[in-house]
């Protein structure tokens, strides 16, 4: 069939619109790049790492806390720095959501990083990218893997406390966890690898005490808990006691990023229900992944780095979308 000049022109217009919308759908990921700040703020990674290292010298927990901030940011509205916003006339903060309130921490260190970065490259680096860089530096400083952080995110101007209340939870069963990860484009390997972040850091008694005394309304402890470990946790978290008491997520090497989290799961010594579910759920696809990571730390490290990049690609704002906040706690 021969095309007239007008139909050819119409076809060209259609193709132009097709590619425009394709760019809208896929452009944000394509625009993220490990060299995004190569000319505008070439030493940003070193600046971030220096502040994180200083904070770690006086607070060994901070590296796990900063990694958690990036996770809690990306799972709500994508990686847009929304977790950092305080309450205001126009913002209902995610900090008050149940998974975050009196739990998520490290905001002061993020502010310190932002100040240090602004002193070198004013108005250039987003708070969302600062979270991504701080997460990578934290893992490295705790003995874990490094990776090329993809950058170019911009900061959101809204928060979503409703979505923050529906994040992956320490009380979730495996099917629920898998669905929540799938909803943001992450698979079972991402789920197990990113759960491996619990190889360092702490958790409050209130996030797992139901396993110790009245699991799923049975009036008995969670049968998947090792009995010796159960006794230790019951001593740390007595029934009716202080729900904010801190416990090591990894009882073996609590401040080191390694693969001991997975060997703990094999010994029924996962602290959170959402941890042990990965290994103790009969027939689960995640069991073989846990075994693989427990048997080879380098395999875990490679998968973790890859999964962090995948998580960092959840719905970033790029181009002219969003903004570069001058203060991470509030919109400009």
C-alpha to C-alpha distances, 207 to 94, 155, 211, nearest whole angstrom: 18, 30, 9
Q: Is 222 annotated as a binding residue?
A: no
Q: Residue 72 catalytic?
A: yes
The 8-class DSSP code of residue 56 comes to H
The rounded distance, in Å, linking the Cα atoms of 60 and 142 is: 9
C-beta atoms surrounding 146 within 10 Å? 11
Q: Is 146 annotated as a binding residue?
A: no
The tokens describing 159, both together, are 């928060």
Listing DSSP states for 242-289 in one string gives -TT-EEESSSSSTTS-SSHHHHHHHTT--SSHHHHHHHHSTT-THHHH
Closest CA to 87 of 72, 74, 100: 100
The tokens describing 289, both together, are 């992944």
Q: Is 198 annotated as a binding residue?
A: yes
**Residue 48 C-beta-side C-alpha neighbours within 13 Å:** 27
Q: Is 158 annotated as a binding residue?
A: no
Q: Is 242 annotated as a binding residue?
A: no
* DSSP-derived 3-state class of residue 154: strand
The tokens describing 180, both together, are 């929540």
Q: Is 73 annotated as a binding residue?
A: yes
Q: How far is CA 99 from the centre of its chain?
A: 13
* DSSP-derived 3-state class of residue 151: strand
Exposed e or buried b per residue across 258-291, where buried means at least 16 C-beta atoms within 10 angstroms of its C-beta: bbbbbbbbeebbbbbbbbbbbbbbeebebbebbe
Q: Is 80 annotated as a binding residue?
A: yes
The rounded distance, in Å, linking the Cα atoms of 262 and 292 is: 9
Catalytic residue among 49, 72, 153, 211: 72
Q: Is 76 annotated as a binding residue?
A: yes
Q: Is 288 annotated as a binding residue?
A: no
The rounded distance, in Å, linking the Cα atoms of 66 and 110 is: 8
Q: Is 190 annotated as a binding residue?
A: no
Enumerate residues 6+ apart whose C-beta is below 8 A from 266: 279, 290, 291, 294
Indicate the annotated binding residues for heme b. 198
Indicate the annotated binding residues. 73, 76, 78, 80, 82, 94, 168, 198-199, 250, 253, 258
Indicate the annotated binding residues for substrate. 168
Indicate the annotated binding residues for Ca(2+). 73, 76, 78, 80, 82, 94, 199, 250, 253, 258
Active site positions, annotated: 72
């Amino acid at each position: 069939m021969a095309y007239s000049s007008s139909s050819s022109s119409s076809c060209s217009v259609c193709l132009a619109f097709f590619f425009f919308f394709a760019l809208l759908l896929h452009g944000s990921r394509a625009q993220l790049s490990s060299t995004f700040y190569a000319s505008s703020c070439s030493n940003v990674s070193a600046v971030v790492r220096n502040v994180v290292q200083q904070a770690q010298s006086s607070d060994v927990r901070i590296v796990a806390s900063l990694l958690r901030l990036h996770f809690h940011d990306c799972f709500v509205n994508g990686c847009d720095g929304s977790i950092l916003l305080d309450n205001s006339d126009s913002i209902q903060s995610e900090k008050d959501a149940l998974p975050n309130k009196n739990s998520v921490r490290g905001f002061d260190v993020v502010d310190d990083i932002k100040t240090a970065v602004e002193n070198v490259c004013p108005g250039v680096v987003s708070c969302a990218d600062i979270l991504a860089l701080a997460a990578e530096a934290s893992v490295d400083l705790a003995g874990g893997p490094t990776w090329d952080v993809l950058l170019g995110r911009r900061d959101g101007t809204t928060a979503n406390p409703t979505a923050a209340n529906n994040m992956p939870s320490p009380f979730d069963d495996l099917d629920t966890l898998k669905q929540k990860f799938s909803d943001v484009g992450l698979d079972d390997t991402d789920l197990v690898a990113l759960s491996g972040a619990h190889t360092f850091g702490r958790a409050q008694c209130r996030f797992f005490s139901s396993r110790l005394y009245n699991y799923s309304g049975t009036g008995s402890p969670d049968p998947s808990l090792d009995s010796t470990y159960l006794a230790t946790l019951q001593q740390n978290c007595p029934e009716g006691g202080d729900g904010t008491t801190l416990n090591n997520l990894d009882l073996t090497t609590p401040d080191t990023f390694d693969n001991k989290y997975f060997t703990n799961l094999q010994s029924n010594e996962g602290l959170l229900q959402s941890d042990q579910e990965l290994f103790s759920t009969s027939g689960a696809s995640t069991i073989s992944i846990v075994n693989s990571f427990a048997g080879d730390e380098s395999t875990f490290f490679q998968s973790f780095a890859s999964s962090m990049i995948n998580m960092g690609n959840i719905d970033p704002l790029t181009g002219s979308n969003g903004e570069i906040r001058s203060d991470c706690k509030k919109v400009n």
